[in-house]
Chain A
Amino acid sequence: MSAETLVQLLYLVSTALFILSLRWMSDPETARKGVFSGVAAMLLAVAGTLAGVMATGGTHYWWILGAFAVGAAVGYPLAQVPLTAVPQRTALSHAFGGLAAGLVGTAKFFLYYGQRNEAALTTFIVVALVAEILLGFLTFTGSLLAAGKLQEVKWIPQRPVTYPGQNLTNLALFGVALALGVALVLHPLAPWAPWAFGGVILLSLAFGVLLIIPIGGADMPTVISILNSYAGLSAVAMGFVLNNKLLITAGALDGSSGLILSIIMCKAMNRSFFNVLFGAFGQAQTSAAGGEQKAYKSDTVESAAQVMEQASLVVIVPGYGMAVAQAQHKVRELYDLLKKRGVTVKFAIHPVAGRMPGHMNVLLAEAEIPYTDLVEMDEINGDLPQADVALIIGANDVVNPAARADKTSPIYGMPIIDADKAKTVYAIKRSKNPGFAGIDNELYFLDKTFMLFGDAKSVVGELARKLAGDNSGH
């Protein structure tokens, strides 16, 4: 068996294992097997590549080993971040992925250019190279910026940055990049080709920044998903350049995952891709929030505890505010105490609760709440009219009935959790200010709604204490 056949066989097995890895993610019961399979696939891919490189006489092995070691040393602490920081870590990881693809593409181009290798720089290859560096470097800066926004780094603006003619500027720059790309495809060995190539790199780096600055914090789950897709597609382009089917397959798997998650996120916010990318969400709200002052009804923790104790079904609607207040573990205490009294407790999870797809589930799972009680929006909405209490913790827009009724609201049409259909609504809120997207929420002014003002952690903690105290008193 020739070395090349061995390499291709290893790649074949690796591809199958990558597909299985994602297949096993369909169920929490088998998901960890999926990670194992993914690791095995990656090891085979690296082993196969090394075998191929050795067979044709490679060098620099000590350097390569060093790069692996430093990468592992940086990667390990990145895996230990608190779960609230997972969105930032994910964005940072997309940045690394994009950079890797961009650098390999750059290296390949200058290698062929230096060799005056006309045979290698075919139209197809140059198109793939341009796509690779465009997607790679755009993902790099875009993801860095997204990570910075999520981390709330001080000098990165949280609010969308917009200016007149913004989309036109981006479009014009894109036109320039495209023209440079076409010129490269036609004359890859021209004396000016390295400059054109460098121009495409610079423009791609700029695009990453320009495309992300007009996007507001509320759209971050979608943006992360789109960047996920780009990172995968840049790996596909690299596969085309190197004519490597493993790269194409694994990249395509990543790309389609990002695509599906983006679609789910867009649907969950009733927005189109185009609207997310170019719509500059968050501009209209400043005017909407300035309406007349209405009166909240607040209630004491004691009576809230009593109502919940008498309930047979309590639906908890968590939002990112719960995670910010680090209230998950208190919520879990409350959940336990209510369960002990025979109350059925379910969590209603909106697809965009949290800062990336599925984020809220992870945060609640960390607090050891069984995943069987975490219910998706579509499923829980059928049960909400039977719910005695809907307890809203740090969520706002995802329970705002304006999304159903008020055509002037910026969130009109967004699917929401029907908390307003429960018999009683309790909402824990830090202050009387509107939520993340800056929109007033009429749910808080309903007759059946009672506000519990205060820090989510301490309010839920008190609720739990009241329930526990009652128990020992009897």
Chain B
Amino acid sequence: MMLMEHTETPPSHGAHPAPAAGGGHGQLDYMGALFVFMLATFIGVMVIQRVSRLLHTPLMSLTNAISAIAVVGALIVSAGKDYPGYITALGLVAIFCSTTNIVSGFLITDRMLKMFKKREGGGSTSASKGEPEHAPRAIGGGAK
């Protein structure tokens, strides 16, 4: 509902001089957006506090990739019909930047995580996906 809202509210609404019609509805959405932001920040803080210090470098490269979610905005701007050429160009450069982060962020995170091994030789050697999910208590991995 909100994705296309602004692109499709050209001055037709302007029959009302002020943003009265669109504004009332919009205001409500903005409160919703602020709620989402607040809740997501709390979730983020709580989830990330539990990340082992061991993994803070991969964590940062992973969140690099996640912040490349800006690609969503870049796509909306680039694909817009009847937009001036320079708007499209800005959007395309933004897509390029975000894609660079997505590709390099996820790849290097995985590359680093592959290196974290528990014990050499027999038994559980790597943190690979195929591993059963028990044994979560790694010595260095205390979450404080």
Binding site for B on A (CB under 8 A): 4, 7-8, 18-19, 21-23, 25-36, 38-39, 41-42, 45-46, 49-50, 52-53, 56-61, 63-64, 66-68, 70-72, 74-76, 78-81, 83, 86, 89-90, 93-94, 96-97, 99-101, 103-104, 106-108, 110-112, 114-120, 122, 124-125, 224-225, 228, 231-232, 234-236, 238-261, 264, 349, 351, 354, 356-359, 361-362, 365-366, 368, 370-376, 378-379
The 8 closest A-B pairs by CB, nearest first: A71-B99, A358-B56, A75-B103, A256-B44, A58-B79, A79-B107, A252-B40, A78-B104
Q: Residues of B contacting A81 with CB < 8 Å? A: 108
Question: For the complex, what is the distance from the CA of A119 to the CA of B17, rounded to whole Å?
Answer: 9
Query: Could you name 20 residue pairs across A and B whose Cβ atoms are closer than 8 Å?
Result: A4-B4, A19-B47, A22-B62, A29-B133, A60-B92, A70-B99, A74-B100, A74-B104, A96-B98, A118-B14, A228-B67, A231-B64, A246-B69, A254-B66, A256-B41, A264-B53, A357-B56, A361-B116, A368-B115, A371-B117
B129 → chain A, closest Cβ, in Å?
6
Report which of A49, A79, A244, A248 forms a contact with B108, defined as CB distance below 8 A: A79
Report which of A63, A71, A72, A264 forms a contact with B88, defined as CB distance below 8 A: A63
Q: In the complex, which of the residues A26, A76, A258 has the most CB atoms of chain B within 10 Å of its own CB atom?
A: A26
B120 → chain A, closest Cβ, in Å?
6
Binding site for A on B (CB under 8 A): 1-11, 13-14, 18-19, 21-23, 26-27, 29-30, 32-33, 36-37, 40-41, 43-45, 47-81, 83-84, 86-88, 90-120, 127-129, 131, 133, 135-136, 138-144
Q: Residues of A contacting B60 with CB < 8 Å? A: 90, 224-225, 228, 257-258, 261, 356-358
Q: In the complex, which of the residues B32, B88, B139 has the most CB atoms of chain A within 10 Å of its own CB atom?
A: B139
Q: A35-B109, A67-B78, A255-B41 are in contact. Are A25 and B70 (CB under 8 A)?
A: no
Report which of B7, B27, B37, B135 forms a contact with A248, defined as CB distance below 8 A: B37
A21 → chain B, closest Cβ, in Å?
7
Q: Is the CB of B61 within 8 A of A90?
A: yes
Question: For the complex, what is the distance from the CA of A390 to the CA of B4, rounded to whole Å?
Answer: 62
- Closest residue on chain A to residue B67 by CB atoms: A254
Q: Is the CB of A240 within 8 A of B94?
A: no
Q: Residues of A contacting B7 with CB < 8 Å? A: 56
A101 → chain B, closest Cβ, in Å?
5
Q: Is the CB of A46 within 8 A of B75?
A: yes
Q: Is the CB of A68 within 8 A of B66?
A: no
Q: Is the CB of A244 within 8 A of B141?
A: no
Q: Is the CB of A119 within 8 A of B94?
A: no
Question: For the complex, what is the distance from the CA of A232 to the CA of B63, rounded to whole Å?
Answer: 8
Q: A35-B106, A243-B5 are in contact. Are A67 and B57 (CB under 8 A)?
A: no
Q: Residues of A contacting B99 with CB < 8 Å? A: 67-68, 70-72, 75
Q: Is the CB of A97 within 8 A of B67?
A: yes
Question: For the complex, what is the distance from the CA of A373 to the CA of B54, rounded to whole Å?
Answer: 11
Q: In the complex, which of the residues A46, A86, A119, A351 has the most CB atoms of chain B within 10 Å of its own CB atom?
A: A119
Question: For the complex, what is the distance from the CA of A450 to the CA of B40, rounded to whole Å?
Answer: 52
Question: For the complex, what is the distance from the CA of A261 to the CA of B62, rounded to whole Å?
Answer: 13
Question: For the complex, what is the distance from the CA of A244 to the CA of B7, rounded to whole Å?
Answer: 13
Q: Residues of B contacting A86 with CB < 8 Å? A: 57, 61, 108, 112
Q: Residues of B contacting A38 with CB < 8 Å? A: 62, 65-66, 106, 109
A206 → chain B, closest Cβ, in Å?
20
Question: For the complex, what is the distance from the CA of A68 to the CA of B5, rounded to whole Å?
Answer: 26
A38 → chain B, closest Cβ, in Å?
6
- Closest residue on chain A to residue B2 by CB atoms: A243
Q: Is the CB of A104 within 8 A of B58?
A: no
Q: A22-B48, A119-B14 are in contact. Are A29 and B97 (CB under 8 A)?
A: no
Report which of B48, B52, B62, B75 forms a contact with A64, defined as CB distance below 8 A: B75
Q: Is the CB of B67 within 8 A of A42?
A: no
Q: Is the CB of A254 within 8 A of B63?
A: yes
Please give 16 more A-B residue pairs, beta carbons under 8 A apart, in addition to A35-B109, A103-B74: A19-B43, A50-B79, A71-B102, A75-B100, A90-B64, A100-B101, A104-B77, A104-B90, A114-B84, A115-B10, A243-B3, A243-B30, A244-B3, A258-B60, A361-B56, A371-B138
Q: A52-B4, A100-B68, A256-B45 are in contact. Are A93 and B33 (CB under 8 A)?
A: no
Q: A7-B3, A252-B40 are in contact. Are A67 and B33 (CB under 8 A)?
A: no
Q: A64-B95, A100-B74, A118-B14 are in contact. Are A111 and B83 (CB under 8 A)?
A: yes
Q: Residues of B contacting A357 with CB < 8 Å? A: 53, 56-57, 59-60
Q: Is the CB of B69 within 8 A of A250?
A: yes
Q: A118-B14, A252-B41 are in contact. Are A52 and B87 (CB under 8 A)?
A: no
